[in-house]
Amino acid sequence: MTNTFSGLTNFSKGGDSKLTLKAGYDANYLYILAEWYDSTVNLSQHSWIYNGYNVPLKPSDPNNGWTSQRNSDKFAMAFEIASAIGTKGNFATVGCEASCHGSGNTATMTPNSGSVDIWNWSLATSAPLGYAHDMTASSAGLVYDAGDKLATRNSNGSTDRSGPAYEWDGTSQSVTLPNGSTALLDPSYYLLNKTTMKGNVSNGLTIYESRCETCHGPNGSGAEAGAINAIGQNKKARKAYFDAMDNVADMSDYWGALSSEEKDDIVAYLRGLSGSPGHYLTVPTAGSSSADIVAISNVTPTQISNSLFTSTNHHQKYQVLIKRKLKTTNPDDVQFDLNANKNYVFGVALMDNDGKNHIGSVKETLTFK
């Protein structure tokens, strides 16, 4: 695998992931249980932060303006759909390396020929909906299967400097999971019910520096008053910000003197301090190819809170159960035809606060007994 930016010691602070895979099947479905250790929990992928943190791995990329930061924990599997061949060889021989083209920072999920089925469970972009991403790697690149994408980039443009297009609209983010139960998604991390982001963020910064910084500190880090740059600030809808500050008597000279447009600017900047969600989520249509892979984990949307899931994994390990039909009617899926074949080569990858670099095994075999 590509390891991680700083080598294996960068995964789970150097701890052994001790990945364990178990599988079972019935007449219709395949079930795969993955369990691995990860001492930290990361669930905010590509958050929009204004004048964000310096990134040591990108010294040539200045942190001024909108920056796209943070990543999430992921688990991925790769199965061959049709005669995949890459620069390292064919899938039967080299496993998921056949789905890669190039090496190092230039590597992409584009086999020279054939196609590979990619199953990708992401704590930030698929887990809250109860699914794993279903994607296909071919010479055309890595594309999502047909149907609604579980997550779409929350971007006001085409670059990682464009800033967010949407924010939470303040309504309850209740979602029905594939098993019929419901969950309430925390807007600190997840954006399901959205509205257009208002305000001029650079003007909001100017206002903040002149009216708010003395009390709340540079970059909202706290001074006489508390810090206001925590990710939990996204729990506040725009109207809630307005209502709260309108009713604070000693804010009259600071907040009360602002126009409604300037108040929008300030809230836009506060979104940039806490980090606006980098994606918005969509529940896929049942029966579509994008809804093929159901995933249940020991980290549920209702368990996520600022104190528990910003750094330490109190579960110590992830447990993810994947369920998929043995045979689908979709050409962008691997088909498990047990009459024709009982052995299927696959690759498996783990990612810790990363998307490109990972640890894992390029070649394993799933055997139906």
| Start-to-end Cα distance in the chain | 29
Helices (H), the chain: 91-94, 201-211, 213-216, 238-246, 260-274, 306-309
Assess whether the region 8-153+281-367 and the region 198-274 belong to the same CATH fold.
no
Three-class SS state of 316: coil
pLDDT band at 66 (very low <50, low <70, confident <90, very high): very high
State the average pLDDT over residues 185-196: 94
Residue type, 307: S
Q: Distance between CA atoms of 229 and 211, rounded to whole angstroms? A: 16
Number of C-beta neighbours around residue 160 at 10 A = 16
Q: Which residue has the tokens 């994994």?
A: 313
Residues whose CB is less than 8 angstroms from the CB of residue 43 and which lie 6 or more positions away in sequence, other chains included: 72, 73, 123, 124, 127, 189, 304, 309
- According to DSSP, the β-strands at 182-184 and 174-176 are antiparallel
The domain segmentation of the chain, as residue ranges, is 8-153+281-367, 198-274
- What pTM does this model have? 0.92
CATH topology of domain 8-153+281-367: Immunoglobulin-like (2.60.40)
3.40.1550.10, 3.40.50.300, 1.10.569.10, 1.10.760.10: CATH of 198-274: 1.10.760.10
Segment 101-133, tens digit of pLDDT: 656 556 678 899 999 999 999 999 999 999 999
Segment 229-253, tens digit of pLDDT: 888 888 889 998 888 888 777 777 7
